[in-house]
């Protein structure tokens, strides 16, 4: 794939100023608005990005950056919440164009940015021949340009102090970034997925790291911030942190229970991954419909569900839950 082609190249670049020297970029993933965001933060002559999105939407990322008034040359730091391809997939290719930038990432994620071989192999097992279309070329980040984060140890970046909070649950190496002065938390995926204008907070539960206990600890950590604003990668800024995180907790328990009930039946009795996927899709659709301010227009509902599925596919959620269930069963058999 060339440097300027990609699944999101014709639909992204939407820039929303959030104040405090923060801008939200819509990367137009899959040709849709409102699926994957990146955030530009600027101050003191520095410019940083929080999340890069996938390599497939790099043109939209650069267009958004230009829309804010910056060139890749201006970038001094790139922070990623975790190394999943929808969050950090463009890091290597972006750094080729951003000679001054360093990448800030959880130490467990760092080696996979420097050598994405394993990351690409495991993603290829899931996405097969749709890899390139979805994610684009995954380039390595030069190791000397990676600055591994330490939990709770603040960094002065782009005119502010950003504190990395190690927040496992969705991924074991997940980091949220806390800007105390602006009372803003950049929550990656551990803060859930929520469409713009929706009240439904959907937990993204992909393989292989899903950990309910760790996730609950991370939700508590985010709640303790008493943030004025949560900035989710999927998608946007939300001012009702307490309600949002409470919803996430409830819906995470709901997915766990749905998986347990479905998979306990066993594959012979309809308790397989396909059944779980269907139930998760139905739960997502029902939750979206319940809070739709526009009422029950079926076309609009289908569109909202498609946007949510683009951010957190139900088959992926079912894979993660299925793996959790299998591990749990193995652990119980081991201890019993």
Site residues (vs Zn ion, CB under 5 A) = 86, 189
**What DSSP string describes 67-100?**
HHT--GGGEEEEE-S--SHHHHTTHHHHHHH-TT
CB of 234 to Zn ion, least distance (A): 6
The pair phi, psi for residue 165, each rounded to 5°, is: -115, 115
Nearer to Zn ion, 74 or 189 (CB): 189
CB of 325 to Zn ion, least distance (A): 22
What angle in degrees, to the nearest 10, is found between the helix axes of 241-264 and 212-225? 170
First to last CA, the chain: 51
CB of 233 to Zn ion, least distance (A): 6
Which stretch of DSSP H or E encloses residue 163?
strand 160-166
Task: Find all residues with CB under 8 Å of 190, minimum gap 6, and list them.
Answer: 81, 167, 168, 169, 170, 174, 176, 215, 218, 219, 222
CB of 276 to Zn ion, least distance (A): 20
Nearer to Zn ion, 62 or 316 (CB): 316
Residue 219 and residue 198: Cα distance in Å, rounded?
A: 20
Q: Among 120, 135, 123, which residue's Cα sits nearest to residue 86?
A: 135
CB of 82 to Zn ion, least distance (A): 8
Task: Find all residues with CB under 8 Å of 328, minimum gap 6, and list them.
Answer: none
Nearer to Zn ion, 135 or 325 (CB): 135
CB of 189 to Zn ion, least distance (A): 4
Distance of CA 108 to CAs 113, 218, 252, 253, 325, Å? 10, 17, 25, 27, 24
CB of 90 to Zn ion, least distance (A): 13
DSSP 204: P
């Amino acid at each position: 794939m060339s440097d300027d082609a990609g699944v999101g190249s014709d639909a992204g670049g939407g820039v929303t100023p959030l104040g405090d020297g923060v801008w939200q970029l819509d990367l137009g993933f899959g040709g849709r608005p409102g699926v994957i965001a990146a955030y530009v933060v600027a101050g003191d002559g520095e410019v940083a990005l929080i999340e890069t999105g996938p390599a497939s939407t790099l043109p939209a990322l650069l267009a958004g950056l230009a829309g804010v008034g910056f060139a890749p040359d201006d970038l001094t730091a790139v922070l990623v919440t975790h190394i999943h391809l929808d969050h950090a997939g463009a890091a290597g290719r972006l750094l080729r164009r951003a000679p001054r930038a360093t990448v800030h990432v959880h130490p467990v994620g760092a080696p996979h940015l420097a050598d994405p071989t394993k990351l690409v192999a495991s993603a290829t097992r899931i996405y097969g021949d749709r890899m390139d279309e979805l994610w684009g070329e995954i380039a390595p980040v030069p190791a000397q340009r990676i600055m591994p984060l330490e939990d709770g140890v603040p960094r002065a970046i782009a005119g502010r102090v950003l504190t990395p909070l190690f927040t496992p649950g969705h991924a074991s190496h997940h980091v949220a970034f806390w800007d105390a002065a602006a009372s803003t938390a950049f929550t990656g995926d551990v803060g859930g997925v929520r469409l713009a204008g929706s009240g439904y907070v959907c937990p993204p539960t992909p393989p292989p790291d899903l950990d309910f206990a760790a996730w609950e600890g991370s939700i508590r950590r985010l709640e303790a911030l008493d943030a004025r604003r949560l900035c989710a990668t999927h998608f946007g800024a939300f001012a009702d942190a307490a309600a949002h995180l409470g919803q996430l907790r409830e819906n995470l328990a709901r997915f766990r229970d749905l998986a347990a009930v479905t998979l306990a039946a066993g594959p012979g009795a309809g308790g397989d991954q396909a059944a779980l996927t269907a139930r998760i899709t139905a739960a997502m659709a029902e939750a979206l419909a319940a809070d739709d301010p526009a009422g029950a227009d079926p076309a609009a509902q289908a569109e909202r569900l498609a946007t949510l599925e683009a951010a957190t596919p139900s088959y992926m959620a079912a894979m993660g839950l299925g793996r959790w269930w299998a591990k749990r069963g193995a652990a119980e058999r081991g201890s019993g």
